[in-house]
Chain A
Amino acid sequence: MEKANDFYSILNAVEFNSPVDKDDDFFTDFKGLRKGFSEKKIFKMLNINPNTKECNSLNTTQRVFLSGHRGTGKTTELLKLKQEIDATKCFLVVFCDVGKEELDVNNIDFVDVVIFMLEQLVKELKDKKINIKSKDVESFYKWYNQRILEINKTVDVSATIETEASAGFTIPSLFKLVSKTKAKLSASQDTKDKIRRVFINKFSDFSMKFNEFILNIKETMNKESVAKDLLFIVDGFEKIGTLEARRKILIDNSNKFVEIQSNMIIALPIELFSQVSVLSTFSTPISFPLITLDDDGTKKFIDFIKKRVDESLFKDEATIKEIIKYGAGSPRETLKIIEEAYLAAENEIIDLASIIDAKNKISNEIVDYLTADELAILKEFKSNPNIAYSPELASLLVKKVFLKYGDGSEMKINPIIEENVKYKKLVEIE
């Protein structure tokens, strides 16, 4: 992507559908500007010295749930973490984006995620040519292959997962087998259900064999000084179908995640953050808040915008600050406002009038579809900012009517909504 130096290049430059990594020209490091969040904390939890990047082995398995709004920069942060941790040789980092890969995000189950994690792990071993001996693959391979044979007996011939009798117990052959299973998880509902059922019914056995395999990998990596431990970074849950589906996978099956004995950082959708008390006994929930728009935060956002769009394409600095204000500390929302303002602009420049049009359009799209129950919560919020968790509150977080800051306990109404005329009328703000 290139910086927009002329007006009609703005749209391409503010695309927000792909996260940028650390080496990208558009990358802006918001480090230290998210109050309540510190990258150092994650390094320390992983037993990595944040300054020297030296590390010691972990005594206990770490599971971190990183929760923040969509578009707040979680994926960018996680990609940055992967790069930085990869460089330490402390961990073999396996990055799994469940929303991006070929899993059926409209119909996904917990076990799909585990199979996907397994596939990504084996792929990483294969790509990095980490030499896992056949004896360390054999037991897991045999168990897994037996499940596939079991599945094949229950599905139609066209849906069977091909196995190779003489494949040998190697990482590439295991990769092939797991990949084929994962591909079938996007097949018909019947096939999906049958694959899932076999693994769910035997999940304790699955996790035991998977764990033994992980321990074998760790041992080899240690011996060959590849890495001390293994770390899964699992992202993309926000793209999974419904709120209920996300809750089922992450909250109801949270104890099953624990059965997989590996360090994990899991990006948790914001609307589930209030339910993390369920998870807190065996994992650490961390809030990844929006950027606080104090002087430093605003300054950084000005940089962020100017890296993408030349400042000459804005009427003045006040226009840029107005965009930042309504972006509310979210990089993605900020880009969205620029995009809408670009489309609304009468002339070949983004000015305050186009910002107001953009603001109204974005806020109307949300306010017009607020339900009676959601409005009741918004009214209640005026007198009681400590709203208890409910599906409606979760929905308001998903819609970004409520925004979370700091350690996750601070909640504000999105400024873009707060100024909307219809909204004011609906919640009877004088």
Chain B
Amino acid sequence: MSFELNFEQLQGKLKKILNPKRFRFIVILYPNPKTIIEIKKHISKTFPQSLVNNLDVKNRSYQEISSELYKNSEGFVYIDDFEEILNSEDLYNGFNQRRDKIASYNINLICFISIYKKEELFTKAINVIPDLWEFKDSVLELEKDERDDSLAGMRISESSSYSSLGGLNSVDKKEELERLLKKLKEASSDELKLNILYQTATIYRDLGDYKQSLNYSKMLLKLQEEILDEKHPNLATSYNNISLIYQDMGDLKKALEYQEKALNLREEILGEKHPDLASSYSNISLIYQDMGDLKKALEYQEKALNLREEILDEKHPNLASSYNNISLIYQAMGDLKKALEFQEKALNLTKEILGEKHPDLASSYSNISLIYQAMGDLKKALEYQEKALNLREEILDEKHPNLATSYNNISLIYQDMGDLKKALEYQEKALNLTKEILGGKHPNLAISYVNIAQLYFQNSDFKEAKEHIDKAVDIFSHLFPDGHPHLDIALNIQKVIYSQ
């Protein structure tokens, strides 16, 4: 039986419990930090005359906060980071030992903690604040809002798949495509044809034109099957690449089929202890992750990690990649503690092997930021995302797609913080850069349109919201078949926006 409440039910419960003239101790488990703002707004609306005290406990001692805690003899005291109290000996002892003093004030002590910390709350509170815990009136758990999911900001993935062929922006890449296609027409040898087909398919994928990329990849595979030995390792590379394109297109069944073909061939020709097998396991894991089968995703990613641990140096970057992928799975499972643990392992190893100025380090910072964001620690999320951005600005080309990823991520944090102006500013930076380097038909551009549409929607500027979401739907529907998750999200948002 679930005790999770929707927002309306929570309002009902609060109405029964809250009383600004009496002591109350309430803990609210929230799914998304944005809901803290909404709850506070609701309480202020219900009790407009009551005093409000937002108590910041982060990195502070009980001594430092005590005067603020007792500054009002009645009203509401909000603690947004209740987790801090559970983890700081000074704070939990301070609160627990002064329970009676605190309870002598007619305050409503309302403490917020992420639903991802639910287990930690119930196991720790009884141990570290046993006396205060006895005085709790209620622990209210707010359910995840489906609407919140459909209107969640869309992420641009870290573009590790973005190739270096044909330069780093869409103009150069298109120019290179022109050269290659001309060369393909004139090519007389199969060797040259294979080479050009590979490059062409890769550049089309970079440009987000998955249909053409698949088309040329299949032409390449056909020619390879005609002229290469059936056990040639290049066939496994082609199966792998086709699988990745199907994954981009959202056809996960086909993606899995081709990735398994690559794995089988690699197992046959490379034996059981080859690093390429670990890459295949890892890619299969990513497909299962997209399918939502997180158990299988974890199983395959752990297989990849075990093999890498067995055959690679203990300081190999591919181990960091495994830790990163495992972290992402735990994040999807909602186990943010484990996600953070693995991401920190990835970060430390990357730093140790590749130094302080490497693009992989920026990706690690960015991924840690995403975990903090999911935990509701937006300050830390912003801190890490800015670290990622600064590093990228320093070491990457100023027109690199990963800069747009950083802008998008920062925008989403500001959106969660409720700072829509800054969110829009960063999202527009992401949009402009993406348009410049990847062109006007890339899925990453559509993601920026979706996110901007939502920002306008939140700002009640429905005209702009409609204009942007239409652009996103237009791009996605050209690129993806019906049922692709990106297209579905955009269509849902379009529906919500047009319902206003």
Contact = CB atoms under 8 A, between A and B. Distances in A.
B195 A208 contact: yes
A143 B164 contact: yes
Most buried by B among A154, A209, A282: A154
Interface stretch (A255-263, A329-337, A420-428): A255-263
A139 interface: yes
Interface residues of B, number: 39
B165 A208 contact: yes
Contacts of B359: 154
Contact of B233 (A61, A193, A258): A258
A259 B231 contact: no
Interface of B: 163-165, 167-168, 176, 179, 189, 191-192, 195-196, 198-199, 202, 229, 231-234, 237, 269-271, 274-276, 311, 317, 353-355, 357-359, 394-397
A373 interface: no
Contacts of B353: 193
Contacts of B164: 143, 146-147, 202, 205
Contacts of B394: 153
Interface in A52-72: 61
Interface in A193-214: 193-194, 197, 202, 204-205, 208-209, 211-212
A215 interface: yes
B274 A252 contact: yes
A384 interface: no
A282 B233 contact: yes
B191 to A, nearest CB: 6
Contacts of B234: 258-259
A215 B189 contact: yes
Range, interface on chain A: 20 to 34
Contacts, number: 85
Contact of A194 (B168, B192, B196, B358): B358
Interface string A135-157: 00001001100110110011000
Contact of A215 (B195, B274, B311): B195
Given A197-B358, A252-B274, A205 B192 contact: no
A190 interface: yes
Given A139-B179, A215-B191, 14 more contacts: A143-B165, A146-B164, A154-B355, A194-B354, A197-B358, A205-B164, A252-B275, A255-B233, A255-B274, A258-B233, A258-B234, A278-B271, A281-B229, A282-B233
| Chief secondary structure at chain B's binding surface | helix
A181 to B, nearest CB: 15
Contacts of A193: 353-355
A278 B276 CA distance: 13
Interface string A77-94: 000000000000000000
| Chief secondary structure at chain A's binding surface | helix
B195 A202 contact: no
A386 to B, nearest CB: 20
A153 B269 CA distance: 38
Nearest to B230: A281
A197 B315 CA distance: 13
Contact of B163 (A147, A202, A282): A202
A209 B198 CA distance: 11
A143 B394 CA distance: 21
Nearest to B176: A139
Contacts of A212: 192, 195-196, 199
B195 A204 contact: no
Contacts of A255: 233, 269-270, 274, 276
A62 B354 CA distance: 36
A429 B317 CA distance: 49
11 contacts: A139-B179, A142-B167, A146-B164, A153-B394, A153-B396, A190-B355, A204-B237, A205-B163, A208-B195, A212-B192, A255-B233
